[in-house]
């Protein structure tokens, strides 16, 4: 069960580090699913301001 927790943290940490503070983690996850540019920003750690 520990491995599942590690995978969950690996998946959510980039969303938590994204600088958009107004949007929830759930909202960021959904927006990243719809918007390829946001997905690349989150996965690549490159944030455009």
- Parse the chain into domains and list their residue ranges: 2-44
pLDDT at 34: 96
pLDDT attached to residue 48: 56
1-49 pLDDT tens trace:
688 988 888 888 888 888 888 999 999 999 999 999 988 888 887 655 5
Q: What is the pLDDT of residue 18?
A: 87
pLDDT of residue 36: 93
Q: Round to whole Å and give the CA distance between 32 and 2.
A: 26
């Amino acid at each position: 069960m520990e491995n599942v927790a590690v995978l969950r943290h690996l998946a959510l940490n980039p969303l938590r580090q994204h600088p958009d503070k107004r949007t929830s983690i759930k909202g960021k996850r959904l927006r990243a699913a719809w918007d390829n540019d946001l997905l690349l920003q989150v996965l690549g750690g490159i944030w455009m301001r």
